[in-house]
Amino acid sequence: MSNLPVGSVHVPHPDPRQMGLSIGEGQDGAPARWGRWDGQSLTVYRFEDEDLALTGLSPSGDLLLSVTHDQDRLAVHRTRDGSVLAEAFAESSVPRHPKAEADNDEVYAAWDWAGGFLDETTVIAGTVESDEEWGEGRHWLIDVSLERAPVQVEYPFTVTSPPFAIGEGSWYTFADAGRTLHAWTLD
């Protein structure tokens, strides 16, 4: 259910003259672009990291969320210039899956290519894809400053898809191979 690695995902801005684009090229990468139309000319810039999936935009449109193509880094960017304001590396930010063997050195967390802003200060992200070998995937609430450790979301039942932010403190997940949609909100 992720929005990459193959295909394009548009990231609309509240100002309809701006738009982000993630271009999933499978194993070949994930270039990201941000475009602006000033009424006379179109300006498109490339993000510093050519393998970058844009996964969300803050409600104000001032901040972008991205995940690197190799899924090791989640970053918050300033929309106007793409500069990174904060970043979280999965391996150092997220604990090992609790059901993973302690002696297995190949266990690592990786951010999903989904998630986004719940509000101006909170992001939801998942490690579902990297967790599935060990059991239930996990979702994380993350302060945009990324100064505090991610907090794992506790659900009343098993959630099997990555989270997809819809704003105003809400997100959704899929179940039953995509046939059922569950909506969630912060309380």
Distance CA 27, CA 38 (A): 34
The whole-number pLDDT of residue 63 equals 96
Q: What is the pTM assigned to this prediction? A: 0.88
Nearest Cα to Cα of residue 64 among 90, 83, 48 = 83
User: Other C-beta atoms within 10 Å of 181: how many?
Assistant: 12
The whole-number pLDDT of residue 9 equals 84
Residue 116 has pLDDT above 50, yes or no: yes
Q: What is the mean pLDDT of the chain?
A: 88
Residue 67 has pLDDT above 60, yes or no: yes
The whole-number pLDDT of residue 1 equals 39
Q: Which of 61-75, 78-92, 96-110, 151-165 has the lowest mean pLDDT?
A: 96-110
| Range 27-40 average pLDDT | 87
Q: Which of 91-100, 102-111, 146-155 has the lowest mean pLDDT?
A: 102-111
Q: How far is CA 75 from CA 99, 116, 145, in A?
A: 27, 11, 10
The whole-number pLDDT of residue 182 equals 94
Residue 48 has pLDDT above 90, yes or no: no
What does the DSSP assignment read for 126-187?
E-HHHHTTTSS--EEEEETT--S--EEPP-SS---S--EEEETTEEEEEEGGGTEEEEEE--
| Range 120-149 average pLDDT | 91
Distance CA 86, CA 65 (A): 10
Q: Up-side HSE of residue 34: CA atoms within 13 Å toward CB? A: 26
The whole-number pLDDT of residue 80 equals 86
CA-only gyration radius of the chain, Å: 16
